[in-house]
Structure 1
Amino acid sequence: MPAYITLINFTDQGARTIKGSPDRFEAFKTAAESKGVTVKSVHWTLGAYDLVLVTEGPEDALMTLSLQTASLGNVRTQTLRGFTVTEMRKLLAGLP
Protein backbone atom coordinates (compact mmCIF):
# COMPACT_ATOMS: atom_id res chain seq x y z
CA MET A 1 0.00 0.00 0.00
CA PRO A 2 1.43 3.44 -0.88
CA ALA A 3 2.83 5.47 2.01
CA TYR A 4 2.42 9.22 2.38
CA ILE A 5 4.17 11.73 4.63
CA THR A 6 2.11 14.84 5.25
CA LEU A 7 3.66 18.04 6.59
CA ILE A 8 1.05 20.16 8.35
CA ASN A 9 0.84 23.77 9.49
CA PHE A 10 -1.98 25.31 11.49
CA THR A 11 -3.92 28.12 9.86
CA ASP A 12 -4.84 31.13 12.00
CA GLN A 13 -8.15 29.41 12.73
CA GLY A 14 -6.39 26.18 13.72
CA ALA A 15 -4.01 28.06 16.01
CA ARG A 16 -6.87 29.92 17.70
CA THR A 17 -8.56 26.58 18.43
CA ILE A 18 -5.35 24.68 19.26
CA LYS A 19 -6.88 22.92 22.27
CA GLY A 20 -9.12 21.00 19.87
CA SER A 21 -6.19 19.68 17.84
CA PRO A 22 -6.04 16.20 19.44
CA ASP A 23 -9.81 15.77 19.05
CA ARG A 24 -9.64 16.92 15.42
CA PHE A 25 -6.90 14.37 14.81
CA GLU A 26 -9.07 11.58 16.28
CA ALA A 27 -11.92 12.63 13.97
CA PHE A 28 -9.47 12.64 11.03
CA LYS A 29 -8.24 9.15 11.97
CA THR A 30 -11.80 7.82 12.10
CA ALA A 31 -12.58 9.37 8.69
CA ALA A 32 -9.33 7.99 7.27
CA GLU A 33 -10.07 4.46 8.45
CA SER A 34 -13.57 4.63 6.93
CA LYS A 35 -11.91 5.34 3.54
CA GLY A 36 -9.32 2.56 3.80
CA VAL A 37 -6.45 4.85 4.85
CA THR A 38 -4.31 3.71 7.79
CA VAL A 39 -2.73 6.33 10.05
CA LYS A 40 0.72 4.93 10.87
CA SER A 41 1.82 7.82 13.11
CA VAL A 42 1.20 11.46 13.98
CA HIS A 43 3.61 13.82 15.70
CA TRP A 44 3.09 17.40 16.84
CA THR A 45 6.45 19.01 16.11
CA LEU A 46 8.69 21.97 16.77
CA GLY A 47 10.20 23.81 13.82
CA ALA A 48 8.92 24.60 10.34
CA TYR A 49 5.87 22.32 10.59
CA ASP A 50 3.31 21.89 13.37
CA LEU A 51 2.53 18.22 12.71
CA VAL A 52 3.88 15.33 10.67
CA LEU A 53 1.49 12.56 9.66
CA VAL A 54 2.36 9.20 8.11
CA THR A 55 -0.43 7.30 6.35
CA GLU A 56 -0.89 4.37 4.00
CA GLY A 57 -3.72 3.89 1.57
CA PRO A 58 -5.05 4.31 -1.93
CA GLU A 59 -4.19 7.63 -3.59
CA ASP A 60 -7.79 8.50 -4.45
CA ALA A 61 -8.93 7.91 -0.86
CA LEU A 62 -6.09 10.05 0.47
CA MET A 63 -6.96 12.83 -1.99
CA THR A 64 -10.62 12.84 -0.92
CA LEU A 65 -9.59 12.88 2.73
CA SER A 66 -7.15 15.74 2.10
CA LEU A 67 -9.84 17.82 0.39
CA GLN A 68 -12.30 17.19 3.23
CA THR A 69 -9.67 18.18 5.79
CA ALA A 70 -8.72 21.33 3.87
CA SER A 71 -12.36 22.42 3.72
CA LEU A 72 -12.46 22.61 7.53
CA GLY A 73 -9.90 25.43 7.48
CA ASN A 74 -7.71 24.41 10.43
CA VAL A 75 -4.58 23.24 8.61
CA ARG A 76 -2.60 23.55 5.40
CA THR A 77 -0.87 20.41 4.19
CA GLN A 78 1.93 19.29 1.93
CA THR A 79 1.84 15.57 1.14
CA LEU A 80 4.80 13.55 -0.09
CA ARG A 81 4.72 10.04 -1.51
CA GLY A 82 7.14 7.85 0.44
CA PHE A 83 8.88 4.76 -0.92
CA THR A 84 10.21 1.78 1.04
CA VAL A 85 13.60 0.23 0.35
CA THR A 86 11.89 -2.60 -1.52
CA GLU A 87 9.93 -0.16 -3.67
CA MET A 88 13.10 1.81 -4.44
CA ARG A 89 14.96 -1.35 -5.45
CA LYS A 90 12.18 -2.17 -7.94
CA LEU A 91 12.21 1.38 -9.33
CA LEU A 92 15.99 1.43 -9.63
CA ALA A 93 16.03 -1.98 -11.32
CA GLY A 94 14.24 -0.37 -14.27
CA LEU A 95 17.00 2.19 -14.84
CA PRO A 96 19.40 1.67 -17.74
Structure 2
Amino acid sequence: MTTYIVLINWTDQGIRNVRDSAKRLDAAKKLLGDMGGSFQQFFLTLGDHDMVAVCDAPDDAVMARFGLSLGMAGNVRTKTLKAFPEAAYREIIGSLG
Protein backbone atom coordinates (compact mmCIF):
# COMPACT_ATOMS: atom_id res chain seq x y z
CA MET A 1 0.00 0.00 0.00
CA THR A 2 1.06 3.54 -0.68
CA THR A 3 0.37 6.34 1.80
CA TYR A 4 -1.16 9.64 0.72
CA ILE A 5 -1.77 12.89 2.57
CA VAL A 6 -5.01 14.50 1.41
CA LEU A 7 -5.50 18.23 2.04
CA ILE A 8 -9.20 19.04 1.93
CA ASN A 9 -11.21 22.25 1.70
CA TRP A 10 -14.96 22.64 1.66
CA THR A 11 -16.52 24.24 -1.40
CA ASP A 12 -19.33 26.77 -1.00
CA GLN A 13 -21.77 23.87 -1.39
CA GLY A 14 -19.91 21.78 1.18
CA ILE A 15 -19.84 24.48 3.85
CA ARG A 16 -23.52 25.33 3.29
CA ASN A 17 -24.28 21.69 4.10
CA VAL A 18 -21.58 21.26 6.76
CA ARG A 19 -23.99 19.50 9.12
CA ASP A 20 -23.96 16.58 6.67
CA SER A 21 -20.17 16.43 6.48
CA ALA A 22 -19.79 13.54 8.96
CA LYS A 23 -22.11 11.44 6.79
CA ARG A 24 -20.08 12.43 3.73
CA LEU A 25 -16.88 11.39 5.53
CA ASP A 26 -18.43 7.99 6.25
CA ALA A 27 -19.38 7.68 2.57
CA ALA A 28 -15.83 8.66 1.52
CA LYS A 29 -14.35 6.04 3.85
CA LYS A 30 -16.63 3.41 2.33
CA LEU A 31 -15.79 4.53 -1.22
CA LEU A 32 -12.06 4.31 -0.63
CA GLY A 33 -12.52 0.98 1.15
CA ASP A 34 -14.46 -0.38 -1.84
CA MET A 35 -11.50 0.69 -4.02
CA GLY A 36 -9.10 -1.30 -1.84
CA GLY A 37 -7.80 1.59 0.27
CA SER A 38 -8.45 3.00 3.72
CA PHE A 39 -8.36 6.09 5.88
CA GLN A 40 -5.62 5.81 8.51
CA GLN A 41 -6.28 9.19 10.17
CA PHE A 42 -8.61 12.15 9.68
CA PHE A 43 -8.36 15.63 11.19
CA LEU A 44 -10.44 18.79 11.21
CA THR A 45 -7.80 21.51 10.93
CA LEU A 46 -7.32 25.24 11.29
CA GLY A 47 -5.35 27.24 8.75
CA ASP A 48 -5.08 26.85 4.98
CA HIS A 49 -6.98 23.55 4.91
CA ASP A 50 -10.27 22.59 6.52
CA MET A 51 -9.39 18.92 6.92
CA VAL A 52 -6.45 16.55 6.45
CA ALA A 53 -6.61 12.81 5.88
CA VAL A 54 -3.89 10.17 5.86
CA CYS A 55 -4.96 7.41 3.50
CA ASP A 56 -3.56 4.20 2.09
CA ALA A 57 -4.34 2.98 -1.43
CA PRO A 58 -3.02 0.21 -3.64
CA ASP A 59 -1.66 2.65 -6.25
CA ASP A 60 -1.79 6.15 -7.69
CA ALA A 61 -4.64 5.31 -10.08
CA VAL A 62 -6.91 4.29 -7.20
CA MET A 63 -6.10 7.48 -5.33
CA ALA A 64 -6.69 9.57 -8.46
CA ARG A 65 -10.10 7.92 -8.99
CA PHE A 66 -10.94 8.54 -5.34
CA GLY A 67 -10.01 12.23 -5.51
CA LEU A 68 -11.91 12.73 -8.75
CA SER A 69 -14.97 11.02 -7.27
CA LEU A 70 -14.89 13.34 -4.26
CA GLY A 71 -14.52 16.38 -6.51
CA MET A 72 -17.45 15.33 -8.71
CA ALA A 73 -19.76 15.40 -5.67
CA GLY A 74 -19.01 19.12 -5.32
CA ASN A 75 -18.60 19.36 -1.54
CA VAL A 76 -14.80 19.42 -1.26
CA ARG A 77 -11.67 20.16 -3.24
CA THR A 78 -8.61 18.09 -2.52
CA LYS A 79 -4.85 18.19 -2.97
CA THR A 80 -3.20 14.79 -2.70
CA LEU A 81 0.42 14.25 -1.72
CA LYS A 82 2.18 10.92 -2.14
CA ALA A 83 3.97 10.23 1.13
CA PHE A 84 7.16 8.23 1.64
CA PRO A 85 7.49 6.59 5.07
CA GLU A 86 10.67 7.04 7.07
CA ALA A 87 12.22 3.76 5.88
CA ALA A 88 11.76 4.80 2.24
CA TYR A 89 13.08 8.27 3.03
CA ARG A 90 16.22 6.77 4.56
CA GLU A 91 16.68 4.47 1.56
CA ILE A 92 16.30 7.34 -0.91
CA ILE A 93 18.69 9.58 1.02
CA GLY A 94 21.15 6.73 1.47
CA SER A 95 21.22 6.07 -2.28
CA LEU A 96 22.44 9.59 -3.08
CA GLY A 97 25.95 9.71 -4.46
Aligned position for 2:90: 89
Using the size of structure 2 for normalisation, the TM-score is 0.94
Secondary structure of residue in 1 paired with 2:47: coil
Q: Which structure 1 residue ranges, 5 or more long, are not aligned?
A: none
Aligned position for 1:46: 46
Q: Distance in 2 between matches of 1:11 and 1:85?
A: 33
Q: Distance in 1 between matches of 2:49 and 2:62?
A: 24
Q: Which structure 2 residue ranges, 5 or more long, are not aligned?
A: none
Shift of 1:93: 2.4
RMSD in angstroms over aligned alpha carbons? Answer: 0.9
**Number of residues of Structure 1 aligned to a counterpart in Structure 2:** 96
Q: Distance in 1 between matches of 2:64 and 2:79?
A: 12
Q: Distance in 2 between matches of 1:33 and 1:26?
A: 10
Identity across matched positions, percent: 34
Secondary structure of residue in 2 paired with 1:95: coil
